[in-house]
Amino acid sequence: MSTSKNLITIIANWKMNPGSFKEADNLIKNIKNGIKKSENVNVVICPPAVYLSKIKTNAKFELGIQNIFWENRGAYTGEISAKMAKNLGASYVIIGHSERRIYLRETDEMINLKIKSALENNLVSILCIGETLDEKKKDKTSEVIVGQLEKALNNISSFQFPVSSFQIAYEPIWAIGTGITPAVDEIMGVALLIRKVIAKLYNRETAEKISILYGGSVDSGNAYDFVRKANTNGLLIGGTSLNASEFARIAGLFG
């Protein structure tokens, strides 16, 4: 994966959608037909794991998986390892999404183990971090962001941490699926804070090169500002990524 500052990464998180492979196949074909190839934009599709191997045959994009377990094999019913995901054709993995933190009680310690497994298996980690509305109202955004980053990257050395294999997605929980979004200045402030933490944990060069994405109620009307004005490196898009024409429109803003 290129680490060029000019490269914008647009990631589609389909979550637990659509309901059938036929729908998934139509969606990927429509996205492919709607997006023009561009050296400036890297599009990544993260479908449900059951569709990965079939999606691969029709997708011209890089693929990701929405979750992994931290062991490569074993008695872990229902789980998928990073090694399996790689063999299915995934290059990326979403780790620590708020929906998993909330509904499945995923902890920072579990997230840390998953990142280590992704690094060991050459998957690009997309670490999701963000505060709740209550935390925002109590002015705890910075505290939450710093804590989540430090715990997620605990005992991961700079040698294990190639900048090309890691991205950080700021997804304020209160903005996901609500239609409410942070101001550009707020996103920029969090992005600067993330780089400050990475510089402290690793070094300034890593902090400058790390890709920072924004996610939460993204559409074609606000996407450009969330990248260009907030000085991020791309977007992690949920519900809107299920609308092929809108998703293609967003990608086209940067190509």
Write the pLDDT tens digit of every residue in 134-163: 999 999 999 999 999 999 999 999 878 888
What does the pLDDT read at residue 210? 97
What does the pLDDT read at residue 152? 98
N- to C-terminal Cα distance for the chain?
A: 17
Write the pLDDT tens digit of every residue in 160-177: 888 899 999 999 999 999
Write the pLDDT tens digit of every residue in 197-248: 999 999 999 999 999 999 999 999 999 999 999 999 999 999 999 999 999 9
Average pLDDT over residues 74-85: 98
What does the pLDDT read at residue 4? 54
Task: Kindly provide the b/e burial profile for residues 63-82, where b requires at least 16 CB atoms within 10 angstroms of the residue's own CB.
Answer: bbbbbbbbeeeeeeeeebbb
Q: What is the pTM of this model?
A: 0.96
What does the pLDDT read at residue 206? 95
What does the pLDDT read at residue 5? 59
Average pLDDT over residues 65-90: 97
Written as one string, the DSSP assignment of the chain is: ----TTPEEEEEE--S--SSHHHHHHHHHHHHHH----TTEEEEEE--GGGHHHHHHH--SEEEES--BSSSSSS-TT--BHHHHHHHTEEEEEES-HHHHHHS---HHHHHHHHHHHHHTTPEEEEEE---HHHHHTT-HHHHHHHHHHHHTTT--GGG--GGGEEEEE--GGGTTTS----HHHHHHHHHHHHHHHHHHS-HHHHHH-EEEE-SS--TTTHHIIIIITT-SEEEESGGGGSHHHHHHHHHT--
pLDDT of 1 > 80? The answer is: no
What does the pLDDT read at residue 3? 45
What does the pLDDT read at residue 144? 98
pLDDT of 99 > 90? The answer is: yes
**Residue 180 corresponds to which tokens in the numbers above?**
């409410």
Domains in the chain, CATH or no CATH each? 8-252 (3.20.20.70)
Give catalytic residues, as residue numbers: 97, 171
Write the pLDDT tens digit of every residue in 17-71: 999 999 999 999 999 999 988 999 999 999 999 999 888 877 789 999 999 999 9
pLDDT of 2 > 60? The answer is: no
